[in-house]
Amino acid sequence: MKAIVHDVYGTTDVLRLRDVERPRISDEEVLVAVRAAAVDPGVLIFMAGRPYLARLAAGLRRPRVPVLGRDLAGVVTEVGPRVTRFRPGDEVYGTSLRGTYAEFTATHQKRLAPKPANVSFAQAAAVPVSGMTALRAVRDSGQVRPGHRVLVIGASGGVGSQAVQIAKAYGATVTGVCAPEKTRFVRSLGADDVLDYTRAEIDRDGPVHDVVIDTGGDRPLSLLRRALTPRGTLALVGGDWTRGPLLGGYGRQILGAPLLSTVVGQRLRAVNAVERTEDLDELSELIRSGALTPPVDRSYPLAEAAEALRHFTEGRPAGKVVITV
């Protein structure tokens, strides 16, 4: 089968479109013919092997899994003997740890859910990693309730664009923070207000937000706290992951927030996305009801995966960049 592989860490120059063996499935795995996959910072971090902390998972000296990609949407072609939830022919979406920029991938049945019929494969592939992260930020870390005021920083990004929609579905009043050219897009997601970060800082309205969800930029905790009510919650999803060779932009959530949280009235929480069926099922419900529309900025064919990754880092996409197979 054709796949986008990398044998060493580096830039998009290390990526190759190659013929590799089709993965074999174990008892509880499903073989999926991939129709679409998506781009997120995690893919670039695994490609680059930077920040170095990521190599604990990706492989210390070279990539443990040569095929790139984690999100997928596709059609089940084969199931292991202990798979109970899927049959060949089922349309599914979810994640795989064996790479998804390929014609086929194998993955555990618990990483998949039936694809909602009202979205395309490209839209479905835009959801798993970013959507599950957004859901955890809104529901678990932020504990968003009806009537809450929520500020989403990075509202035009993969996680932020879905966090805006999920927070609205949870009954919040949402302000999205984004670049000036993205304000129309963020309003189209349902944000009640937008804040152009080139014109005002996030504490423009004072300490009025019950929940701040931070997915973009690299603001200090002191500034983020100034946008929160005295008992408010900061959900730190991520930030500028290109900063610093060891931790990237993750210093605030790995070190700063847990320490400071013990001595201040606000709750400062790092969001850790866990990929599981129950969360995919909740996202599916939101998609079916029309509360969540996966926003796709642009799609690229598999052979142009390197171009898709470059567009993601340099093209300032609004929503997700997708790869179709």
Ligand X SMILES: NC(=O)c1ccc[n+]([C@@H]2O[C@H](COP(=O)([O-])OP(=O)(O)OC[C@H]3O[C@@H](n4cnc5c(N)ncnc54)[C@H](OP(=O)(O)O)[C@@H]3O)[C@@H](O)[C@H]2O)c1
CB 96 within 8 A of CB 107: yes
160 lies in the site for ligand X, by CB under 6 A: yes
> Could you give the dihedral angle defined by the CA atoms of residues 61, 52, 66 and 237, in that order, rounded to the nearest 10 degrees?
160
- Give the per-residue contact string, 177-206, with ligand X (x = CB under 6 A; - = no): xxx--x--------------x---------
The one segment of 94-102, 222-230, 268-276, 287-295 that binds ligand X by CB under 6 A: 268-276
Rounded to an integer, what distance in angstroms lies between the CA atom of residue 45 and that of residue 40? 9
Contacts to ligand X from residues 224-253, by CB under 6 A: 237-239, 241
Q: Applying CB under 6 A, which of residues 36, 271, 287, 302 lies at the interface with ligand X?
A: 271
- Collect all residues with Cβ–Cβ distance below 8 Å to 325 and sequence separation of at least 6: 34, 35, 36, 37, 74, 101, 102, 103, 301, 302
Q: Which amino acid is at 152?
A: V
* 49, 58 contact by CB (below 8 A): yes
* 128 scored as a contact of ligand X (CB under 6 A): no
> What is the spatial distance between Cα 13 and Cα 22, in angstroms, rounded to a whole number?
24
User: Between 105 and 183, whose beta carbon lies closer to ligand X?
Assistant: 183
Cα–Cα distance measured from residue 248 to residue 211, given in angstroms and rounded to the nearest whole number: 24
Q: Judged by CB under 6 A, which of 63, 94, 142, 158 binds ligand X? A: 158
What gap in Å lies between CA 80 and CA 30, rounded to an integer? 6
| Closest listed residue to residue 44, CA positions, set 70, 62, 64 | 70
Quick check: 127 binds ligand X (CB under 6 A)?
no
Judge if the upstream peptide bond of residue 51 is cis by omega within 30 degrees of 0. Answer: yes
Site string for ligand X, 55-94 (x = CB under 6 A): ----------------------------------------
116 vs 157 by CB, closer to ligand X: 157
Task: Please identify, among the stretches 22-30, 98-106, 153-161, 300-308, the one whose residues bind ligand X according to the rule CB under 6 A.
Answer: 153-161
Supply the minimum distance, in Å, between the C-beta of residue 277 and ligand X. 17
* Nearest residue to ligand X on Cβ basis: 157
Binding site for ligand X (CB under 6 A): 40-41, 129-130, 133, 153-154, 156-160, 177-179, 182, 197, 215-217, 237-239, 241, 271-273, 316
